[in-house]
Amino acid sequence: MIFVGAQLAAPGLGANANHAGNCSVPKNYLEAAVEITQEAGKILVEELSRPPDIRYKGDEVDLVTQADKRSERFIVERLTKYFPDHAIAAEEGTGHESASASEFRWHVDPLDGTTNFAHGYPCFCVSIALAQRDTLLAAVVFNPFYNELFTAARGEGATFNGKKIHVSKVATLSTSLLCTGFPVRNRKASPNLQFYGDFTQHSHGVRRDGSAALDLACVAAGRFDAFWEFGLQKWDTAAGVLLIEEAGGKVSDFAGNPYQLGGPVILATNGLIHEEMRAMALEISRRSQGPAPP
Ligand code: IPD
Ligand code: CA
Ligand code: CA
């Protein structure tokens, strides 16, 4: 088993908590998450070489494939084996509440970037994070195609393939590279095209890579200077938020309030351009609401 990241320092996060079964016992939560994420990544790479089996959740473009389901089945089974008392919130619905009302909850996106995956565009990942009540403790984002592993443990920093990472030092919006995403449901109701256009005019550009978890990991690693998106779910953002916080960045909503997992909008930046982006986002919101009624 590969060990990535330091031992978690917080109380109660010592070695071998709540492990069960005969398979090798992970040293801590982060190590368990790394092991499970890498195994799930192997499933995704294996599935990528098969003809895609695409289904639709709802009547828009919310895709699901055999790969999402296989990856999730594996992750939930392994997490349950290691941590039978923990709750699991997983996108495809196979997670569970804990038998003993655990304060620990895993947020699992078994395949983030399903649309990319379904088209053979290798920008997708597995994203897993552990929270104790509202505090994120451990996070892993893994792109198995490029073997890119991002990890974070609260108070211990963030890493990319074992090396410490830090957000970028770009200090102005006009010289920044940004990223955003668009919803797969209620697409016509999304206000994001306006934001996309305006931020494009005021920066070096806005990328749309199609995997929110990887997009956030890229902010943590300094590849992007900021990311925003409306309507993301807890499993899309949980790992990325801890990665960015541990890499020295900032995460909030457009009003500057701390971002709550599953909140209506996330703004994640290197910290240096946070206020400039926020001011512009508020200005775009005001403009797109039109003139005040007489
Ligand atoms: C999607 C991706 C995408 C984002 C969508 C998400 P999925 O997740 O993260 O980048 O724009 O809002 O739903 O469906 O590929 O897990
Ligand atoms: Ca997914
Ligand atoms: Ca997702």
pLDDT tens digit at each of 294 positions of the chain:
333 333 343 333 433 344 444 445 455 999 999 999 999 999 999 999 988 888 888 877 777 889 999 999 999 999 999 999 999 999 988 898 876 778 999 999 999 999 999 999 999 999 999 999 999 999 999 999 999 999 999 999 999 999 999 999 999 999 999 999 998 777 777 889 999 999 999 999 999 999 999 999 999 999 999 999 999 999 999 999 999 999 999 999 999 999 999 999 999 999 999 999 999 999 999 988 765 544
Whether domain 173-287 has CATH 3.40.190.80: the reply is: yes
Of residues 108, 40, 28, 36, the one with CA closest to residue 78: 36
Ligand nearest to the Cα of 115, by number? 1
Question: What CATH architecture does domain 5-164 belong to?
Answer: 2-Layer Sandwich (3.30)
Cα–Cα distances in angstroms (integers) from residue 191 to residues 203, 205, 214, 240, 259, in the given order: 19, 19, 22, 23, 19
**Domain ranges (residues) in the chain:** 5-164, 173-287
How far is it, in rounded angstroms, from Cα 4 to Cα 101? 29
Pocket test for ligand 1, best of 143, 180, 236, 265 (most atoms within 8 A of CB): 236
Are the beta carbons of 125 and 37 closer than 8 angstroms? Answer: no
Residue minimizing CA distance to atom 16 of ligand 1: 112
Q: Answer yes or no: is the C-beta of 41 below 6 A from any ligand 1 atom.
A: no
Which atom number of ligand 1 is nearest to the Cα of residue 209? 10
Q: Locate all alpha helices (DSSP H) within the chain, ordered by sequence.
A: 29-48, 66-82, 114-118, 192-201, 212-220, 234-246, 274-288
Which atom number of ligand 1 is nearest to the Cα of residue 236? 9
Are the beta carbons of 140 and 133 closer than 8 angstroms? Answer: no
Of residues 78, 66, 74, 67, the one with CA closest to residue 44: 67
- Total-model pTM: 0.90
Distance 146 CA to ligand 2 centre (A): 18
- Are the folds of 5-164 and 173-287 the same? no
Which atom number of ligand 1 is nearest to the Cα of residue 233? 13
